[in-house]
């Protein structure tokens, strides 16, 4: 999907991919979703000259070289962090010895990692994808003047009942709060009366 979508909003792209039925609630595939959605959005944006299908594939390949099954349990670091690093690194053309560019990438992954840290308890891959894309879009606007339409309004989670360790519910900014029931829905509606006194 990352190579074929024409959408420009990384959050919307990610939400579509996270809706695929074969993706588990907690799954290292979310790192690929984060990298794929972000590079696809860059490719489809007016600024997409530096990102093509080749770079989208390269971001996914770089993510694969960093991620092993249950890498978060092995290292304590969510795979989305290096996945987002691959996006920044590709965009900047980081090479050995490219000091300034590497500093920008390290700052980006630090900020992504902090956003994920703030959401931890319990870990939630879907929340991490949403947060990482929000941080990355903000950083691209600040650092490069590249505005991606990362809409927070589409980031409403409807998977809280699927979390194997219990969703953090209201503590999560993406939690879907069901609207309160209308207690008057079944009541008899009387015609308004006019007082004549």
Tell me what pLDDT residue 180 has: 45
pLDDT, averaged per 10 consecutive residues of the chain (197 residues), comes to 89 93 89 96 86 92 85 84 95 90 96 94 91 95 89 73 84 71 49 54
Tell me what pLDDT residue 188 has: 52
Tell me what pLDDT residue 182 has: 47
* Distance (Å, whole) CA 197 – CA 36: 71
Domain residue spans in the chain? 10-171
Tell me what pLDDT residue 37 has: 97
């Amino acid at each position: 999907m990352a190579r074929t979508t024409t959408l420009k909003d990384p959050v919307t792209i990610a939400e579509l991919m996270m809706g695929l039925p074969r993706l588990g609630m907690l799954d290292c595939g979310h790192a690929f979703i984060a990298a794929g959605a972000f590079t696809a959005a860059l490719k489809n944006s007016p600024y997409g000259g530096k990102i093509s299908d080749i770079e989208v594939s390269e971001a996914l390949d770089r993510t694969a070289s960093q991620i092993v099954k249950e890498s978060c349990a092995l290292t304590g670091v969510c795979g989305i962090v290096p996945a987002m690093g691959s996006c920044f690194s590709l965009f900047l053309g980081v090479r050995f010895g490219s000091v300034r560019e590497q500093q920008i990438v390290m700052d980006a992954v630090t900020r992504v990692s902090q956003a994920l840290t703030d959401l931890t308890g319990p870990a939630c891959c879907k929340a991490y994808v949403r947060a990482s894309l929000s941080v990355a879009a903000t950083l691209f606007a600040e650092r490069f003047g590249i505005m991606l339409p990362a809409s927070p309004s589409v980031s409403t989670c409807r998977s809280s009942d699927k979390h194997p360790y219990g969703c953090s519910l209201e503590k999560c900014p993406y939690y879907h709060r069901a609207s309160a029931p209308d207690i008057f829905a079944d009541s008899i509606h009387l015609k308004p009366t006019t007082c004549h006194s």
